[in-house]
């Protein structure tokens, strides 16, 4: 009986489409010119209606960011906020494999609101820009120089 259950589990697991993964991201958190680095675990889960990207700090699990990308809409959902994809040309960087990162702005603009978010469906969040708070850059690999260059570029 154990072998039958094991065979069924193997068959079901092998035939399912891979709809998720986990990866590490180096998060560079900038407040002015000062920055600190934290490692986050990215969990990516996709179904037919949406893709959910969850970032959890390895140092402090209370630092969690969950962004949802509905498949058929040009928006991102983060907490109670909705971000709309802009018509602005996507950001590309050779050091990031020239992936196009789209700019997403708050649907309802507020002076001290977050945004833009830079996002690519295959990568997830690249950056969170805050007018009155810290900016966050998520990189696949630790790269202080690239993080500082990106922060400088977005503050021009």
The string of pLDDT tens digits covering residues 26-57 is: 999 998 778 899 999 999 999 999 999 999 99
∠ CA 79-84-86, nearest 5°, is 145
Q: What is the pLDDT of residue 59?
A: 96
pLDDT higher for 110 or 47?
A: 47
Q: Is the peptide bond prior to 116 cis by the omega test (within 30 degrees of 0)?
A: yes
Percent of the chain clearing pLDDT 90 (strictly above): 65
**Model-level pTM?**
0.83
One DSSP character per residue, 115-144 reads EEEEEETTTEEEEEEESSS-EEEEESS--H
2 falls in which pLDDT band (50, 70, 90)? very low
- Bridge partners (DSSP) listed for residue 103: 118
The rounded mean pLDDT for the chain is: 86
- 11/7 Cα distance (integer angstroms): 6
Q: What is the pLDDT of residue 47?
A: 94
Residue 73 has pLDDT above 90, yes or no: yes
């Amino acid at each position: 009986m154990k072998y039958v259950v094991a065979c069924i589990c193997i068959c079901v697991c092998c035939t399912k489409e891979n709809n998720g993964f986990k990866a590490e991201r180096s998060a560079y958190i900038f407040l002015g010119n000062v920055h600190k680095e934290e490692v986050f675990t990215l969990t990516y889960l996709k179904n037919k209606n949406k893709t959910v990207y969850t970032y959890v700090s390895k140092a402090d699990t209370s630092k969690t960011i969950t962004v949802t990308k509905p498949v058929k809409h040009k928006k991102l959902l983060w907490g109670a906020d909705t971000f709309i994809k802009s018509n602005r040309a996507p950001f590309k960087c050779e050091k990031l494999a020239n992936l196009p990162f789209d700019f997403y702005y708050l649907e309802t603009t507020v002076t001290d609101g977050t945004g833009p978010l830079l996002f690519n469906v295959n990568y997830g969040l690249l950056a969170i820009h805050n007018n009155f708070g810290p900016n966050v850059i998520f990189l696949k690999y630790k790269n202080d120089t690239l993080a500082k260059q990106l922060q400088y570029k977005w503050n021009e």
